């Protein structure tokens, strides 16, 4: 799928004080142009807001956001050098590192909330006899991809509820197609994320679990780069990370702004956008929750060796 490119540049370039810039573009104060790959979903709202608010410009960066269809495309963009940074879920990056790709995170991006409910759910038809993820044994359940955080947390949710996820037939169905597959009786349940959760519930389906909440304060995804770039250009990493952290903090404190900015880069209807659950936008990584997820990833055979969190997370 061809990537669509959207350019957002700050408009406050008239400030003569450039002391906050970590990547001075030269004596003329020019900004350094960089490209970031991001999936156009609610999870990435923080970077869109941060660019709009001028946080990246204040660090000397002119950010071009190139939208991608998923983690594999984003990973290829970073490894090839087509972009400096990209957004990706933690399991996709775990897999990439095991496969020998020299990448790591530089900033958190989106996290599950610590409260009931959330932006990822196991959904069944209203008339289903299923009341718990454990009841799905012997059934057919969809995820959008077998090797990502959606699949692993869905499997983990079944096991945490006392079931055996290996007794379920898991199938890949893209999120947009899952509500229709439920309605037509093609599957018994679907693991989906917003806005498809709200869409499915509006259609009369029922949530039986919030798998992202089964691991407390779970970090879902972040922004990564190659280790070579991180080591060779520490000023760029510092500037991007500083601006990204400000963006996360601003997003966490301003949910109405998050909903507003999502409308500028997605096609979610305004009425639905007002009702969807938002993720958390947390700066700090939760190593305990990531270790629990990494252990499940190993148990389910998504990776073949224990995950080294020190190789995954930003250098401290």
What pLDDT shows up at residue 116? 63
Query: Sheet holding 85-89: strands in order across?
Result: 5-7, 61-67, 32-38, 85-89, 219-226, 103-111
The percentage of the chain sitting over the pLDDT mark of 90, rounded to a whole number, equals 80
Tokens representing residue 42 in the block: 């609610």
pLDDT tens for each residue of 202-219 = 999 999 999 999 998 999
pLDDT tens for each residue of 101-113 = 999 999 999 999 7
Closest CA to 125 of 210, 204, 178: 204
Averaged pLDDT of the chain: 90
- Strand bridging mode 140-143 / 189-193: parallel
What pLDDT shows up at residue 7? 37
Mean pLDDT score, 252-261 = 96
pLDDT tens for each residue of 24-82 = 544 467 999 999 999 898 999 999 999 999 999 999 999 999 988 777 889 999 999 99
Does residue 139 have a cis peptide bond before it, meaning omega lies within 30 degrees of 0?
no
What pLDDT shows up at residue 187? 98
Is 135 a residue whose pLDDT tops 70? Answer: yes
- Which CATH number does the domain 120-214 belong to among 3.40.50.720, 3.40.190.10, 3.40.50.920, 3.40.50.300? 3.40.190.10
Q: Does the reported pTM lie above 0.85? A: yes
- Strand bridging mode 85-89 / 32-38: parallel
Question: What DSSP designation does 139 have?
Answer: S
Tokens representing residue 110 in the block: 């989106």
Residues ≥6 apart with Cβ < 8 Å to 183: 125, 203, 205
End-to-end CA distance of the chain: 36
Would you list the DSSP string of 172-183?
Answer: E--GGGHHHHHH
pLDDT confidence of 23, banded at 50, 70, 90?
A: low
User: For residue 184, with 0-12 CB atoms within 10 Å meaning exposed, 13-18 middle and 19 or more buried, which class applies?
Assistant: exposed
pLDDT tens for each residue of 156-193 = 999 999 999 999 999 999 988 999 999 999 999 999 99
What pLDDT shows up at residue 186? 97
What pLDDT shows up at residue 146? 87
Mean pLDDT score, 236-253 = 98
Residues ≥6 apart with Cβ < 8 Å to 173: 142, 143, 144, 181, 187, 190
Is 260 a residue whose pLDDT tops 90? Answer: yes
Residues ≥6 apart with Cβ < 8 Å to 25: 31, 32, 60
Q: Is 313 helix (H, G, I), strand (E, B) or coil?
A: coil
Beta bridge partners of 63: 34
Domain locations along the chain: 5-112+217-312, 120-214
pLDDT confidence of 118, banded at 50, 70, 90?
A: confident
Domain 5-112+217-312: top CATH class: alpha beta
Q: What angle do CA 310, 313, 316 make, to 5 degrees?
A: 75
Q: Is 120-214 in the same CATH topology as 5-112+217-312?
A: yes
Give the helix/strand (H/E) hosting 104: strand 103-111
What pLDDT shows up at residue 109? 97
Give the rounded distance of the alpha carbon of 147 from its chain centre. 14
Beta bridge partners of 65: 6, 36
Instruction: Say if CB 227 and CB 104 are below 8 A apart.
Output: yes
CA distance 49 to 62: 14
Residue ranges of the alpha helices (H) in the chain?
45-53, 71-80, 90-98, 149-160, 178-183, 196-202, 227-232, 234-253, 255-265, 270-273, 287-299, 309-312
Residues ≥6 apart with Cβ < 8 Å to 79: 101, 103, 226
Q: Is 225 helix (H, G, I), strand (E, B) or coil?
A: strand
């Amino acid at each position: 799928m061809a990537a669509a490119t959207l350019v957002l540049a700050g408009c406050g370039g008239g400030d003569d004080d450039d002391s906050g810039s970590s990547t001075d573009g030269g004596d003329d104060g020019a900004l350094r142009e960089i490209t970031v790959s991001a999936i156009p979903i609610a999870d990435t709202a923080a970077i869109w807001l941060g660019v709009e608010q001028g946080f990246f410009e204040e660090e000397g960066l002119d950010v071009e956001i190139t939208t991608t269809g998923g983690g594999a495309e984003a990973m290829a963009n970073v490894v090839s050098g087509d972009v400096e940074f990209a957004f990706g879920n933690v399991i996709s990056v775990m897999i990439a590192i095991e496969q020998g790709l020299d990448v790591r995170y530089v900033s958190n991006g989106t996290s599950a909330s610590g409260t009931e409910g959330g932006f990822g759910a196991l959904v069944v038809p209203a008339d289903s006899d299923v009341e718990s993820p454990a009841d799905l044994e012997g059934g057919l359940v969809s995820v959008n991809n077998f090797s990502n955080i959606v699949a692993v947390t869905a499997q983990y949710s079944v096991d945490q509820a006392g079931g055996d996820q290996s007794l379920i037939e898991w199938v890949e169905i893209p999120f947009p197609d899952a509500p229709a597959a439920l309605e037509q009786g093609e599957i018994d349940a679907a693991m989906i994320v917003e806005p498809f959760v709200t869409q499915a519930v509006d259609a009369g389906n029922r949530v039986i679990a919030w798998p992202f909440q089964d691991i407390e304060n779970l970090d879902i995804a972040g922004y990564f780069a190659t280790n070579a770039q991180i080591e060779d250009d520490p000023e760029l990493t510092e500037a991007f990370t500083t601006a990204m952290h400000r963006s996360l903090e601003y997003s966490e404190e301003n949910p109405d702004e998050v909903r507003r900015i999502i409308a500028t880069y997605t096609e979610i209807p305004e009425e639905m956008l007002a009702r969807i659950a938002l993720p958390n936008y947390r700066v700090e990584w939760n190593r305990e929750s990531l270790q629990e997820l990494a252990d499940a990833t190993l148990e389910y055979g998504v990776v073949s060796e224990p995950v080294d969190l020190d190789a995954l997370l930003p250098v401290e």
